[in-house]
A and B are shown apart, each in its own frame.
Chain A
Amino acid sequence: MPNMSLKKNEMPVQQPDVRNKNFSEVALGYTEEQAIDEAKRCLNCKNKPCTGGCPVQIDIPAFIAQVAEGNFAEAYKIITKSSSLPAVCGRVCPQETQCESKCVRGIKGEPVAIGRLERFVADWHNAQPGTSVEKPESNGHKAAVIGSGPSGLACAGDLAKKGYDVTVFEALHVAGGVLSYGIPEFRLPKSIVQKEIDGLKALGVDIETNTVVGKTVSVDELMQNEGYETVFIGSGAGLPRFMNIPGENLNGVYSANEFLTRINLMKAYKENSSTPIKAGTKAVIVGGGNVAMDAARCAKRLGADVHIVYRRTENELPARAEEVEHAKEEGIIFKFLTNPVEIKADENGWAKSVVCQQMELSEPDASGRAKPVPIEGAFIEIEADCVIMSIGTSPNPLIKSTTQGLDTQKWGGIIADDDGLTSKEGVYAGGDAVTGAATVILAMGAGKKAAAAMDKYIQNK
């Protein structure tokens, strides 16, 4: 008999007024009992609408059925047939707009907590004594992967399993891409990212950090001089956008990328860190995406009073509902329909306040989207000695500008077909470098797809 409770098993969390002062993980994860109880809410629908909502088509009812029986190892096997990073995706996927949005249980009541179950299964697996991974037999082919974010890790893993001699080139000193420099510890502990990377190394994948492809070595050199027969570009979308308003270069104004990189990659939140950060006493974060939520919650943890200003309303916030909820619980104040027009300086050249234009939503246009329009003469000024611009990122032009015959979109995204093949033979691409800033799971899926296509390409060569 399924568990007919209308509500999900609640996720155990650190209390808001405790967690907003530390960087430990917010959500603590289900116990075995909670996981089994939640799994029993699944009706095991024949047509599996949830699987249709998953960008990588995990066989969700099948893995949940195993959880319900307490067969966690079996559940893990089912998930990893389709996903390379379950411990990561179980934490950062927007399940509420993907698998869980299609769940039949969600029609009346809450959907099955698919994401929490995925996370439970992955964490359970990671807690088991390490089983020795066997290095696959080499097939004698060399493949290069550029970037060690979600798409690169997934691609490298699948290629290694097929016997490729894989080298991942990473520009920073630590692998993981956005998982390492972007998403904070309290949402995605770095030990989990490290576990994924260690798993790849056990498969024989080489990770060359401190290598900026396009500067240290080019794609063409990798292929012509170093014997790589196929290359995957998963260099992400790491270039921060600014608003180009007066005062944006004042001291105390950061891009979200810089702010988060200082904290996550360089550990500036730790007292003995050699990298400084100034979250100030009053921080204003500009933007409404997940990155804005991350930056806001980091600033809060560093002791600032935090405002998020967003030019549309709460309904249009692109961030996950859960992140918004968590941010609010932690005491972050949202100012909707508010758009910065100027950052004012104090006498020492530091940010002092943000002047914002108040907005209202227009009637929906032909595309059905209401536009924020300024209310004439309506301005507010918010005190801020730290301002964090979190209004999006775009792909880095470094690889495009140094790779012959690699076509890109006008906005910088690499042009690739469904399999990830670019305009250059043997060169594949995927993740944010192709789509612009999107989700971890889409990038991971693109990496897997490309790995399959790269294998086919090499086998048919």
Chain B
Amino acid sequence: MFEILEKNSLNPTVTLMKIHAPRVAAKAEPGQFIILRTDSEGERIPLTIADYDRETGTVTIIFQIVGATTEKLNRLEEGQCLHDFVGPLGRATETDGLKKVAVVGGGVGCAIAYPVAKKLHELGVEVHSIVGFRNRDLVILEDEFKAASSKFVLMSDDGTAGEKGLVTDALKKLIDSGEKYDRVITIGPLIMMKFVCRLTKEYEIPTVASMNPIMIDGTGMCGGCRLTVGGQTKFACVDGPEFDGHLIDFDEAMARGAMYKPFERKAHEDTCNLFRQEVK
């Protein structure tokens, strides 16, 4: 069992938890992920590692409440335990030889972009962080990003935080102003990553996108997380989760990501109703 040592609400729909998982913490690297189950009947969900502390044996996860399992997860409190917590899975972010990187995060994807930015910053890489949210209330990790970046641009859809506009607008502006990146790393909604990659392709800047598809085991066994990269089928769990953004078939990934949407919506509603009944 894996104890929740700390729980913080980052915004109304995004929560941070520090989980006691010494084996995972000992090996975790930015870019990797874990799979958890909240209870003995729960489904397995993958979440990217947001931070880790080898000394205290903790792994930080940040999740958005989108379905039944994240709803259940969010109802657990400090001192309670997760039933299962396995990792670190997938390959770590490659940082070798990088000098100047733009990290482009969107929404809760920023939770994953942050440890990457932090690691690069620690390695002495010049980091420009561009993060986007729908509005002010949803902004997370602003101070953390600022601390890890020599340039920080905050964007919001409605202009209530930072500048109004999309992360691609901000990225384009920086590139056009003469910033030369040897890599762009983008993590966020598929549609955002698709357009970031489209933009950087025009400018021929190598770009890595972190994928978070549906998966079960996370070890290469089910193939549920497969996606097409450069015409070849890859498994996000073992070959990724980061891939060459210019080669990913994002449209296919979006279709696959929506495979169980109706089921998820209903399961989420059922779970909320269950909690409501318990409260009554």
**Interface: B174 (CB within 8 A):** no
A212 cross-chain contacts in B, Cβ below 8 A: 86-87, 89, 218-219
Given the known A-B contacts A210-B84, A212-B89, A398-B238, are A239 and B220 also in contact in the complex, defined by CB atoms under 8 Å? yes
Q: Give me 19 A-to-B residue pairs in the complex whose CB atoms sit less than 8 angstroms apart, sorted by A's number.
A: A171-B86, A173-B44, A211-B23, A212-B89, A216-B24, A216-B27, A239-B220, A240-B221, A242-B223, A248-B233, A254-B224, A255-B224, A257-B221, A258-B216, A274-B41, A274-B69, A349-B255, A397-B220, A398-B238
Per-residue CB proximity of A357-378 to B under 8 Å, as 1/0? 0000000000000000000000
- Kindly list chain A residues whose C-beta atoms are within 8 Å of the C-beta of B221: 181, 238-240, 257, 261, 396
A136 close to B (CB within 8 Å): no
Question: Chain B residues near A396 (CB, 8 Å)?
Answer: 219-221
Using A173-B84, A252-B259, A266-B44 as known contacts, list a sample of 11 further A-B pairs with CB atoms less than 8 Å apart, ordered by residue number in A: A173-B83, A181-B217, A212-B218, A215-B88, A216-B23, A238-B221, A242-B233, A244-B233, A251-B256, A261-B217, A275-B43
B64 contacts the other chain (CB 8 A):
no
Residues of B within 8 A of A272 (CB): 41
In the complex, whether A172 has a CB less than 8 A from a CB of chain B is: yes
Residues on the A chain within 8 Å of B220, using CB: 238-239, 396-398
Give every chain B residue within 8 A of A251 (Cβ-Cβ): 255-256, 258-259
A172: chain B residues within 8 A (beta carbon): 217
SS class, residues of chain B in contact with chain A:
mixed
Q: Which of B37, B223, B260 contacts A173 (CB 8 A)?
A: B37
Minimum CB–CB distance for B228 against chain A, Å: 6
Nearest opposing residue in chain A for B68, CB measure: A274
In contact, B233 and A173 (Cβ under 8 angstroms): no
- B86 close to A211 (CB less than 8 A): yes
B157 is an interface residue with CB less than 8 A from chain A? no
Tell whether A258 pairs with B224 under 8 Å between CB atoms, given A212-B89, A216-B86, A275-B43: yes
Residues of A participating in the B interface, judged by any CB pair closer than 8 Å: 171-173, 181, 209-212, 215-217, 238-240, 242, 244, 248-252, 254-255, 257-258, 261-262, 265-267, 272-276, 278, 349, 396-398
Tell me if B264 counts as interface (CB < 8 A to partner A): yes
Q: Which residues in A have their C-beta under 8 angstroms from that of B255?
A: 250-251, 349
Main secondary structure of the interface of A (DSSP, over half): loop
| Contact between A274 and B224, CB atoms less than 8 A apart | no
B227: Cβ under 8 A from any A Cβ: yes
Is the C-beta of B42 less than 8 angstroms from some C-beta in chain A?
A: yes
Q: With the chains together, A252 CA to B214 CA distance in Å? A: 13
| Identity of the chain B residue whose Cβ is nearest the Cβ of A389 in the assembled complex | B223
Query: Please, which residues of chain B bring their CB within 8 A of the CB of A275?
Result: 43-44, 216
Q: Are B219 and A238 in contact (CB under 8 A)?
A: yes
With most chain B CB atoms within 10 A of its CB, the pick from A252, A265, A275 is: A275
State whether A276 touches B219 (Cβ < 8 A).
Answer: no
Interface string of B20-53 (1 = CB under 8 A from A): 0001100100000000010001111000000000
Q: Tell me whether A210 and B86 are in contact (CB under 8 A).
A: yes
Of A216, A258, A266, the contact of B43 (CB 8 Å cutoff):
A266
Asked whether, in the complex, the Cβ of A216 is within 8 Å of the Cβ of B223, the reply is no
Tell me if B195 is interfacial: C-beta within 8 Å of chain A: no
- B114 close to A (CB within 8 Å): no
Q: Which among B83, B217, B218, B267 has the highest number of chain A CB atoms within 10 Å? A: B217
Partner of A216, one of B69, B88, B224: B88
Q: Which residues of A contact B86 (CB under 8 A)?
A: 171, 173, 210-212, 216
Query: Complex: how many Å from CA A216 to CA B89?
Result: 8
Chain B: which residue is nearest A349 at the CB level? B255
Nearest Cβ in chain A — how far from B27, in angstroms? 6
Cβ contacts under 8 Å, A242 to chain B? 223, 226, 233
| Shortest Cβ distance from B27 into A: residue | A216
Residues of A within 8 A of B222 (CB): 240, 255, 257-258, 261
A216 and B37 contacting across the interface, CB-CB below 8 Å? no
Contacts of A274 in B (CB 8 A): 41-43, 68-69, 267
Bound CA span A278–B223, Å: 15
* Docked complex Cα distance between A184 and B237 (Å): 25
CA separation between A375 and B264, bound complex, in Å?
A: 44
In the complex, which residue of chain A has the Cβ closest to the Cβ of B84?
A173
Shortest A119–chain B CB gap in Å is: 28
Distance of A279 from chain B, by nearest CB (Å): 13
The closest CB in chain A to the CB of B218 belongs to: A212
Q: Which residues of A contact B263 (CB under 8 A)?
A: 276
What residues of B have a CB within 8 angstroms of the CB of A250 in the complex?
255
Are B41 and A216 in contact, CB atoms less than 8 angstroms apart? no
Closest residue of chain A to B249, judged by CB? A249
- Nearest-neighbor residue (CB-CB) of B258 within chain A: A251
Closest to B24 in A: A216
Q: Are A266 and B216 in contact (CB under 8 A)?
A: yes
Bound Cα distance from A454 to B190, whole angstroms? 50
Which residue, of B43, B85, B264, has the highest number of chain A Cβ atoms within 10 A? B43
Binary contact track B121-152/A, C-beta < 8 Å → 1, others 0: 00000000000000000000000000000000
Q: In the bound complex, what is the Cα–Cα distance between A278 and B87 (angstroms)? A: 28
B216 touches A249 (CB 8 A): no
Of A211, A249, A251, A252, most B-chain CB atoms within 10 Å: A249
Q: For residue A446, give the distance in angstroms from its CB to the closest CB of chain B.
A: 20
Is B278 an interface position by the 8 A CB rule? no
The chain A residue with its CB closest to the CB of B215 is A258
Which residues of the partner chain B approach A216 to less than 8 Å between Cβ atoms?
A: 23-24, 27, 86-88
Answer whether residue B252 sits at the interface, using C-beta atoms and an 8 A cutoff: yes
Collect the chain A residues with CB atoms within 8 Å of residue B44's CB.
Answer: 173, 266, 275
Closest to A262 in B: B216
Chain B residue at smallest Cβ distance from A170: B86
Q: Which residues of A contact B83 (CB under 8 A)?
A: 173
CB distance from A403 to the nearest CB of B (A): 15
A381 to B42, CA, bound (A): 38
**Residue contact A276 to B264, C-beta cutoff 8 Å:** yes
Chain A contacts of B260 at CB under 8 A?
276, 278
- In the assembled complex, which residues on chain B have CB atoms less than 8 Å from the CB atom of A273? 41, 43
Task: Please indicate the chain A residues that have their CB under 8 angstroms from the CB of B224 in the complex.
Answer: 254-255, 258
Interface hub of B218, B223, B267 (most chain A Cβ within 10 A) = B223
The 8 closest A-B pairs by CB, nearest first: A258-B222, A349-B255, A210-B86, A255-B223, A276-B263, A274-B43, A173-B84, A238-B221
